[in-house]
């Protein structure tokens, strides 16, 4: 069976990544990808369904791993004592986000493709999942530390959701602008500082 030939899928993914980066989704050729990978276009259809399926197979492992790491980061913080959560929230989040930046730059090609115009639906869904995780764990933090949003609960919650969406979009500016790793970390630290000040302003005294 074609899908049992060892190494074919790996070669297809590697060649496809280069093809998509160089030519974009629309201009990428499945025939060219198959030829460079030493196989047939049929083997692409068997494994990935179509060009979009191949594109997703290139990008999704990186986004899934990012989500896993982000969730693990949140869960680790949530397991800390109330006192440590209160004392370490700012420093903890900044330190952990820098680790995520390192991961993004290790998978820079995949995240570059994620931001391409042809993948906007998947990109928006990725951002939605990040916001959903952040909001859920923020709720746990508020409960654990006995804090709450200001008296205008609905406005504060809606504003926080919007702010987090903005925040995650902004974190990917480091990829859009192709910043150096050093500049990317400085940029993210400033964005985090800006965001955290706004978040604290939404809380009751």
For the entire predicted model, the pTM comes to 0.88
* pLDDT value of residue 205: 60
Distance CA 191, CA 90 (A): 12
CA-based radius of gyration for the chain: 20
Question: What's the pLDDT tens digit per position in 67-115?
Answer: 999 999 999 999 999 889 888 888 888 889 899 999 999 999 999 999 9
* Alpha-carbon distances, residue 182 vs 60, 66, 102, 105, 149 (angstroms): 26, 20, 10, 11, 35
pLDDT over 50 (residue 1) = no
Query: Token pair 């923020």 is at which residue?
Result: 138
Residue 153 predicted with pLDDT over 70: no
62-71 per-position pLDDT tens digit: 999 999 999 9
Q: Which of 127, 115, 117 shows the shortest CA–CA distance to 163? A: 127
């Amino acid at each position: 069976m074609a899908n049992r030939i060892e190494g074919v899928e790996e070669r297809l993914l590697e060649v496809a990544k280069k093809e998509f980066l160089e030519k974009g989704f629309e201009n990428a050729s499945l025939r060219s990808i198959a030829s460079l990978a030493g196989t047939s276009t049929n083997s692409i259809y068997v494994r990935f369904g179509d060009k979009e399926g191949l594109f997703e197979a290139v990008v999704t492992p990186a986004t899934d791993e990012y989500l896993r790491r982000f969730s693990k980061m949140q869960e680790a913080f949530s397991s800390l004592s109330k006192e440590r959560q209160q004392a370490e929230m700012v420093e903890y989040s900044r330190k952990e986000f820098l680790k995520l930046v390192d991961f993004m730059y290790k998978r820079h090609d995949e995240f570059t493709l994620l931001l391409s115009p042809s993948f906007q639906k998947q990109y928006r869904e990725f951002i939605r999942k990040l916001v959903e995780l952040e909001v859920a764990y923020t709720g746990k933090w508020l409960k654990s530390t006995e804090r709450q949003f200001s008296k205008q609960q609905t406005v504060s919650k809606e504003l926080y959701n919007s702010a987090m969406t903005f925040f995650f979009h902004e974190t990917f500016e480091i990829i859009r602008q192709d910043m150096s790793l050093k500049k990317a970390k400085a940029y993210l630290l400033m964005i985090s500082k800006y965001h955290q000040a706004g978040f604290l302003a939404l809380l009751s005294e």
